[in-house]
Amino acid sequence: MQNWSFNDGVARLSRRSPVTGEVAGERTGSELEFVRELGGLLLMHKFAVDELLTKLRIWSEEFDYAHEHDPIEHIASRIKRPESIMQKLRRKGLPVTLASARDHLTDIAGVRVVCPFVSDVYLIRDLIRRNGMEIVQTKDYIAEPKPNGYRSLHLLIRVPVHLSDRVEKVTAEIQLRTIAMDFWAAVERKIFDKSGGAPRPEFSGELKAAADAAADLDARMKGLHELKALAREVVPDGIEGLGGEELPAR
């Protein structure tokens, strides 16, 4: 999920040159009208992402300080581009209108949270739930991976956006995964998205085996994490080879 500048995106998708303000002739009048109308909706979703990012960053620092463990490795976010919104509405056979985008698309605001351990994924899920954001849908592809091996926890949440005169609840999609899951997903996307469509059957086994290796890595890292916690409890300053001095963070 790439970071995406809100204004640049609207300009690009309306085919309006940010320099001259000229509009290229490829869009039909109704498409341009749609992109113009979309501005307010996209802004609300940007606010939802902003609210969510602030909370996530606070928890990340708070846990690092209080528990000497930061449950978040990194965060990425994006607002869906008008171009992709139009494509998705068409793909779903829905009218390309503002009302249709607002009522049917749940992934206009997208946030991906990458965590060191599987337990951190569920910790962040619990923190979201406990802090005023309703979870309206859960797809747990960690408990039940997709047939290709994809693992992640997907949540649809309602984020309260505090405007000057009211609070609006905006839907956002959060994908939570470990570093190992993220590595697999990023590379899988690179290999198979660009070549177009589903992988050939002879690749599927290898892909699934790679996902299993990533899951095994998560399990082994969990073991190490628990061992280190145990070592801290037994000998607070650490025992040789387990606690003590750590390499500085990157």
- Binding partner selected for residue 73 from Mg ion, ligand GTP, none, CB under the kind-specific 5 to 8 Å limit: none
The number of C-alpha atoms within 13 Å of 52 and in the hemisphere containing its C-beta is: 34
User: CB within 8 A of 12, min separation 6: which ones?
Assistant: 81
Closest to 60 in 3D by CA, of 51, 71, 68, 50: 71
Closer CB to Mg ion, 106 or 204, in the complex: 106
Applying CB under 6 A, which residues contact ligand GTP?
Answer: 107, 139, 146, 148, 150, 154, 175, 185, 188-189
- Binding partner selected for residue 59 from Mg ion, ligand GTP, none, CB under the kind-specific 5 to 8 Å limit: none
Residue 73 falls in the annotated catalytic set: no
Closer CB to ligand GTP, 97 or 204, in the complex: 204
Which residues inside 107-126 make contact with Mg ion, applying CB under 5 A?
107
User: CB within 8 A of 200, min separation 6: which ones?
Assistant: none
Report in angstroms how near the CB of residue 228 gets to Mg ion at its nearest: 37
In the chain, beta strands by DSSP E? 74-79, 109-115, 134-140, 153-162, 167-178
Closest to 115 in 3D by CA, of 51, 192, 45, 174: 174
Report in angstroms how near the CB of residue 150 gets to ligand GTP at its nearest: 4
Site string for Mg ion, 73-112 (x = CB under 5 A): ----------------------------------x-----
Write down the catalytic residue from 173, 202, 233, 245. Answer: 173
Q: Could you give the CA distance from residue 172 to residue 75 in angstroms, rounded to a whole number?
A: 14
Closer CB to Mg ion, 17 or 137, in the complex: 137
Binding site for Mg ion (CB under 5 A): 107
For the annotated catalytic residues, the residue numbers are 173
